[in-house]
Homo-oligomer: A and B are copies of this chain.
Amino acid sequence: MAAPPGDTASYEVPDLVDALAQLSFVILNSLAEIAGEHELSIVQVRLLGVLRDREPNMNTLGRHLGLDKSSVSGLVDRAQRRGLVVRTPSKIDGRSFRVSITESGHHTVEKVATAYAARIATLTETLTPQDRQTLAQYANRIIVADARWNGIDLRIGRH
Protein backbone atom coordinates (compact mmCIF):
# COMPACT_ATOMS: atom_id res chain seq x y z
CA MET A 1 0.00 0.00 0.00
CA ALA A 2 2.84 2.42 0.73
CA ALA A 3 4.11 4.49 -2.13
CA PRO A 4 7.33 2.86 -3.31
CA PRO A 5 10.57 4.56 -2.36
CA GLY A 6 11.40 7.26 -4.85
CA ASP A 7 7.80 7.48 -5.96
CA THR A 8 7.05 10.90 -7.40
CA ALA A 9 3.23 10.86 -7.55
CA SER A 10 1.72 14.10 -6.26
CA TYR A 11 -0.26 14.43 -3.04
CA GLU A 12 -1.95 17.33 -1.32
CA VAL A 13 0.57 19.29 0.71
CA PRO A 14 -1.03 20.75 3.86
CA ASP A 15 -0.25 24.36 4.75
CA LEU A 16 1.43 25.16 8.05
CA VAL A 17 -1.79 25.25 10.07
CA ASP A 18 -2.91 21.82 8.87
CA ALA A 19 0.61 20.46 8.87
CA LEU A 20 1.12 21.25 12.55
CA ALA A 21 -2.16 19.56 13.52
CA GLN A 22 -1.38 16.49 11.42
CA LEU A 23 2.18 16.38 12.70
CA SER A 24 0.91 16.49 16.28
CA PHE A 25 -1.49 13.63 15.66
CA VAL A 26 1.27 11.60 14.03
CA ILE A 27 3.70 12.18 16.89
CA LEU A 28 1.21 11.48 19.67
CA ASN A 29 -0.30 8.50 17.87
CA SER A 30 3.21 7.05 17.58
CA LEU A 31 3.80 7.67 21.25
CA ALA A 32 0.42 6.14 22.13
CA GLU A 33 1.18 3.08 20.04
CA ILE A 34 4.59 2.58 21.64
CA ALA A 35 3.14 3.17 25.11
CA GLY A 36 0.38 0.68 24.33
CA GLU A 37 3.00 -1.99 23.62
CA HIS A 38 3.87 -1.63 27.29
CA GLU A 39 0.24 -1.47 28.43
CA LEU A 40 0.54 2.25 29.11
CA SER A 41 -1.52 5.25 28.02
CA ILE A 42 0.03 8.59 27.08
CA VAL A 43 -0.95 10.13 30.40
CA GLN A 44 0.65 7.24 32.27
CA VAL A 45 3.84 7.83 30.28
CA ARG A 46 3.69 11.51 31.14
CA LEU A 47 3.22 10.61 34.80
CA LEU A 48 6.26 8.36 34.77
CA GLY A 49 8.18 10.96 32.78
CA VAL A 50 7.51 13.62 35.41
CA LEU A 51 8.57 11.20 38.15
CA ARG A 52 11.87 10.36 36.45
CA ASP A 53 13.55 13.28 38.16
CA ARG A 54 11.07 14.43 40.83
CA GLU A 55 9.25 13.12 43.89
CA PRO A 56 6.39 15.59 44.14
CA ASN A 57 3.32 15.41 46.33
CA MET A 58 -0.08 14.84 44.72
CA ASN A 59 -0.77 18.54 44.44
CA THR A 60 2.47 19.44 42.69
CA LEU A 61 2.08 16.41 40.45
CA GLY A 62 -1.31 17.70 39.39
CA ARG A 63 0.23 21.04 38.48
CA HIS A 64 2.92 19.33 36.42
CA LEU A 65 0.34 17.33 34.52
CA GLY A 66 -2.30 20.03 34.33
CA LEU A 67 -4.83 17.82 36.08
CA ASP A 68 -7.28 18.22 38.93
CA LYS A 69 -6.25 16.57 42.20
CA SER A 70 -9.09 14.07 41.89
CA SER A 71 -7.82 13.02 38.46
CA VAL A 72 -4.34 12.60 39.91
CA SER A 73 -5.73 10.38 42.69
CA GLY A 74 -7.17 7.97 40.14
CA LEU A 75 -4.14 8.14 37.88
CA VAL A 76 -1.73 7.35 40.71
CA ASP A 77 -4.10 4.65 42.00
CA ARG A 78 -3.99 2.82 38.69
CA ALA A 79 -0.22 3.25 38.30
CA GLN A 80 0.36 2.10 41.87
CA ARG A 81 -1.87 -0.95 41.33
CA ARG A 82 0.48 -1.90 38.47
CA GLY A 83 3.54 -1.37 40.64
CA LEU A 84 4.84 1.58 38.62
CA VAL A 85 4.77 4.21 41.38
CA VAL A 86 4.42 4.38 45.15
CA ARG A 87 2.97 6.84 47.64
CA THR A 88 5.07 7.55 50.73
CA PRO A 89 3.59 9.57 53.62
CA SER A 90 5.34 12.88 54.12
CA LYS A 91 7.36 13.22 57.32
CA ILE A 92 6.72 16.94 57.57
CA ASP A 93 3.04 17.14 56.65
CA GLY A 94 0.61 14.50 57.85
CA ARG A 95 -1.81 15.23 55.02
CA SER A 96 0.71 14.85 52.23
CA PHE A 97 2.27 12.02 50.19
CA ARG A 98 5.45 11.86 48.19
CA VAL A 99 4.88 10.07 44.89
CA SER A 100 7.89 8.23 43.48
CA ILE A 101 8.58 5.96 40.55
CA THR A 102 9.48 2.33 41.25
CA GLU A 103 12.32 0.40 39.66
CA SER A 104 9.75 -1.34 37.47
CA GLY A 105 8.22 1.98 36.50
CA HIS A 106 11.60 3.40 35.67
CA HIS A 107 12.50 0.40 33.58
CA THR A 108 9.23 0.65 31.68
CA VAL A 109 9.46 4.37 30.97
CA GLU A 110 13.04 4.00 29.77
CA LYS A 111 11.97 1.35 27.30
CA VAL A 112 9.16 3.56 26.02
CA ALA A 113 11.51 6.55 25.75
CA THR A 114 14.05 4.52 23.80
CA ALA A 115 11.46 3.17 21.39
CA TYR A 116 9.95 6.62 20.94
CA ALA A 117 13.36 8.14 20.17
CA ALA A 118 13.96 5.38 17.63
CA ARG A 119 10.63 6.09 16.01
CA ILE A 120 11.40 9.80 15.75
CA ALA A 121 14.76 8.91 14.21
CA THR A 122 12.95 6.85 11.58
CA LEU A 123 10.35 9.51 10.90
CA THR A 124 13.03 12.17 10.42
CA GLU A 125 15.56 10.07 8.55
CA THR A 126 15.05 12.02 5.32
CA LEU A 127 16.09 15.23 7.10
CA THR A 128 19.73 16.24 7.30
CA PRO A 129 21.28 16.83 10.73
CA GLN A 130 21.10 20.54 9.95
CA ASP A 131 17.39 20.22 9.07
CA ARG A 132 16.73 18.39 12.33
CA GLN A 133 18.43 21.07 14.35
CA THR A 134 16.46 23.77 12.56
CA LEU A 135 13.22 21.86 13.16
CA ALA A 136 14.02 21.55 16.86
CA GLN A 137 14.65 25.29 17.02
CA TYR A 138 11.33 26.11 15.35
CA ALA A 139 9.53 23.69 17.67
CA ASN A 140 11.17 25.29 20.69
CA ARG A 141 10.16 28.75 19.57
CA ILE A 142 6.54 27.61 19.39
CA ILE A 143 6.83 25.93 22.79
CA VAL A 144 8.16 29.14 24.32
CA ALA A 145 5.50 31.22 22.56
CA ASP A 146 2.84 28.90 23.97
CA ALA A 147 4.27 29.13 27.48
CA ARG A 148 4.14 32.90 27.25
CA TRP A 149 0.63 32.73 25.86
CA ASN A 150 -0.32 30.71 28.92
CA GLY A 151 1.56 33.02 31.25
CA ILE A 152 4.16 30.47 32.31
CA ASP A 153 7.81 31.26 32.81
CA LEU A 154 10.08 28.52 31.45
CA ARG A 155 13.28 29.96 32.94
CA ILE A 156 15.26 27.64 35.18
CA GLY A 157 14.46 27.90 38.84
CA ARG A 158 10.94 29.25 38.29
CA HIS A 159 9.16 25.89 38.27
Task: Tell me the smallest distance from the CB of A110 to a CB of chain B, in Å.
Answer: 14
Expressed in whole angstroms, the Cα–Cα distance for A139 and B21 within the complex equals: 10
> C-beta contact mask, A8-52 vs B, less than 8 Å → 1, else 0?
011111111101111111111111000000000000000000000
- A88-112 interface (Cβ within 8 A of B): none
Would A151 and B24 be within 8 Å (CB), given that A16-B132, A140-B13 are in contact?
no
Would A1 and B151 be within 8 Å (CB), given that A116-B17, A120-B17, A135-B135 are in contact?
yes
The residues of B that contact A123 with a CB separation of less than 8 Å are 142, 145-146, 149
Task: Tell me the smallest distance from the CB of A7 to a CB of chain B, in Å.
Answer: 8
The residues of B that contact A116 with a CB separation of less than 8 Å are 17, 21
Question: Which residue, of A9, A21, A134, A140, has the highest number of chain B Cβ atoms within 10 A?
Answer: A21
Would A19 and B143 be within 8 Å (CB), given that A11-B154, A135-B138, A156-B10 are in contact?
yes
Q: Looking at chain A's contact residues, is the secondary structure mostly helix, strand, loop, or mixed?
A: helix
Per a CB cutoff under 8 Å, which of B16, B120, B141, B151 touches A20? B120
A residues near B (Cβ < 8 Å) are 1-3, 7, 9-17, 19-31, 66, 116-117, 120, 122-127, 131-136, 138-149, 151-156, 158
